Amino acid sequence: MKSKRLIAAVAGVLALTTGVGAAQAEVSTNELDCRETAHTYKDSNKLYLYGRSYCKGGNDEWDDDNDSDYGDGKGKITAFDNKTDSIVNTTKKNVAFFNKPNYEGDSFCLRPGNYLRRLYVYGDGEGTNNWWSNSISSHKFVDAGDCDRWFGWLV
């Protein structure tokens, strides 16, 4: 019983001194899969992008705003054009992803709290498999009515 109280006390001190919850202070996206990241960082207002399936190895890029070109060297995502293979949306917004810069080309949306473990399983709706793997060039936050194709899993 003493060890449980000691652990709780240490966690409380850690939360007070770091300003965050003990779980978030001890865990990074490096150690989590997509579902665990979506759950652990729920409502953290970040969009996490990974260059590997299943969100392995931690996020490569993150953003909390629109980005019209993943390869233009501007914004938070500066050199990740056509490299995304899994995504976690911890924002409270719908996100539209596009296969061309400036929000052009083919698109799909991801709801708040949803994640995509493997983009390569998603086709273009016309029989082409592996359409979305490493094909994303821009994203923006949108209203649900602006989307006609939804991908993803809910936590």
Average pLDDT per 10 consecutive residues for the chain, totaling 155 residues: 42 37 50 92 94 91 96 92 93 95 94 92 60 87 95 77
pLDDT score, position 89 = 96
Q: CA 44 to CA 60: how far, in whole Å?
A: 17
How much is the pTM? 0.78
pLDDT score, position 131 = 67
Cβ contacts of 55-64, under 8 Å, gap ≥ 24: 55/29, 55/86, 55/88, 55/115, 55/117, 56/86, 57/30, 58/28, 58/29, 58/30, 58/31, 59/29, 59/88, 63/139, 64/91
pLDDT score, position 119 = 87
Q: Mention every residue, 6+ apart, whose C-beta is less than 8 A from residue 4.
A: none
- Asked if the 32-154 domain carries CATH number 2.60.20.10, the reply is yes
What's the per-residue H, E or C state across 40-56?
Answer: HCCCCCCEEEECCHHHC
What is the residue extent of each domain of the chain? 1-28, 32-154
Q: CA 152 to CA 115: how far, in whole Å?
A: 5
